[in-house]
Amino acid sequence: MPPVRPIVLLGPTAGGKSALAVELAERLGGEVVSADAFQVYRHLDAGTAKPTAKERARVPHHLVDVVEPTQRFTVRDWLNRADAEVQRLVPAGRVPIVVGGTNLYVRALLEGLMEGPDADPAFRASLAAVPDAELHARLREVDPAAADRIAPADRQRTVRGLEVFHLTGRPLSGHQREWSAAVEPPYRHDPVLLALRWEVPAINRRINARVKAMFERGLVEETRRLEAAGLLGPQAREAIGTKQVLAELAKPKPDLDAAQEQVKIKTRRFAKQQRTWLRRFAGVRWLAGDQEPEALLAGALAAASG
């Protein structure tokens, strides 16, 4: 009997990865491991495209709804849990099907985390009394790319960016660019990499439809409720959808149609980033995402066993 190999299923958001993962898990005797930075949060439901209750009833899903939205959840937190799931499933003859999702999570699973310099307690102590806004302004001076990516309220990541520059003389974003230049075998866990390919107009139509459905499912009400209860931490409030709705609700006269358009734009940009990132992965077996479901499943099964 051939050894069990994990499957990593990649592709743009709204491209049908979750549905295909469930079909593969049923056929192969597998379980789904989410590699999505926002599906980990409980209560963040309307905008995160979590697997449905029916999908979860069909096959086990992991790393969905594991922490409160007030909590910080790092790439290392996710990797530790994902590694544990893979190491539990493979010896039991179960196929882990990792669905991404968040590119950095997938990269960490395949290659491990980028090892930066150790923490400098004295430097961190020197920043303890500095307000968040000033820290973020300092980060923007030395590493604009990191400042664009890190929320001003995310003090821990802001301090880490300043710390890396202090210790190495180089911005954190520069270290990360070197680390992310290419993704090549041998990969950790020896997985099969499958990816769904979509033409841009087709995936954009799917994204627009998904965003419309998110608002119809109550994204605005969910966001308003969580914010009023103080349940949106610095990371959770950065989720596409949640972030744009929060910005609109903060205005004297919120325009929720405008918020929906912004979510569509941001999601399409995210899908473009995913496509760009995917080109860095070597050894990917590509599948046309717009096939009929039966043909797509047959192609995925053949690619996974080939």
Residue 56 burial class via C-beta count within 10 angstroms: exposed 0-12, middle 13-18, buried 19 and up: middle
189 Cβ contact partners less than 8 Å away, ≥ 6 residues apart: 5, 6, 86, 90, 96, 109, 110
Tokens coding 178? 């070197």
Q: How far apart are CA 11 and CA 278, in angstroms?
A: 8
70 is in an annotated binding site: no
Cα-flanking dihedrals φ and ψ of residue 80, to 5°?
Answer: -60, -45
In the chain, which residue ranges form alpha helices assigned H by DSSP?
17-28, 53-58, 75-89, 103-111, 121-126, 132-142, 144-149, 155-168, 172-179, 200-216, 219-228, 242-249, 256-278, 293-305
16 is in an annotated binding site: yes
180 is in an annotated binding site: no
12 is in an annotated binding site: yes
Nearest to 12 by CA among 271, 295, 220, 230: 271
Nearest to 239 by CA among 56, 47, 98, 92: 47
Place of tokens 């890190």: 150
283 is in an annotated binding site: no
Partnered with residue 287 across adjacent β-strands are: 196
Q: How far apart are CA 23 and CA 27, in angstroms?
A: 6
15 is in an annotated binding site: yes
18 is in an annotated binding site: yes
- Which amino acids are annotated as binding site, given as ranges? 11-18
Question: Residues marked as binding for substrate?
Answer: 13-18
Annotated binding site for ATP: 11-18
